[in-house]
Amino acid sequence: MGFPFLSTTDYEYANNFLDRRAGVARHYNHVRGVLGDGSLERAHDGIDLYVERGTPVRSVFEGIVINPARRWRPWDPARYGRTVVVISTEPTSRGYTALMVHLSRVDVRHGDRVRRGQVVGRTGDTGNAEGVPIHLHFELRAPFELRLREAGRIRHVDAFDPYPSLRAADPQRPHARR
Residues that bind Zn ion (CB under 5 A): 48, 137
Q: Smallest gap, in angstroms, from Cβ of residue 135 to Zn ion?
A: 7
Q: Smallest gap, in angstroms, from Cβ of residue 48 to Zn ion?
A: 4
Please return the burial class of 152, using the count of CB atoms within 10 Å of its CB with bins 0-12, 13-18 and 19+.
Answer: exposed
Q: Smallest gap, in angstroms, from Cβ of residue 101 to Zn ion?
A: 7
Phi, psi for 172 (deg, rounded to 5)? -100, 5
| Complex with Zn ion: residue 48 or 62, whichever CB lies closer | 48
| Complex with Zn ion: residue 62 or 100, whichever CB lies closer | 100
Q: Smallest gap, in angstroms, from Cβ of residue 2 to Zn ion?
A: 20
Q: Smallest gap, in angstroms, from Cβ of residue 139 to Zn ion?
A: 8
Half-sphere exposure of 112 (CA within 13 A, CB side): 17
| Complex with Zn ion: residue 65 or 136, whichever CB lies closer | 136
Contacts for 169-173 with beta carbons within 8 Å, 24 or more apart?
169/1, 169/2, 169/3, 169/60, 170/3, 171/3, 171/6, 171/7, 172/7, 172/11
Contacts for 152-156 with beta carbons within 8 Å, 24 or more apart?
152/34, 155/30, 155/31, 156/27
Other Cβ atoms closer than 10 A to 127: 18
| Complex with Zn ion: residue 31 or 62, whichever CB lies closer | 31
| Complex with Zn ion: residue 48 or 150, whichever CB lies closer | 48
Residue with nearest beta carbon to Zn ion: 137
Cβ-contact 119, 98 below 8 angstroms: no
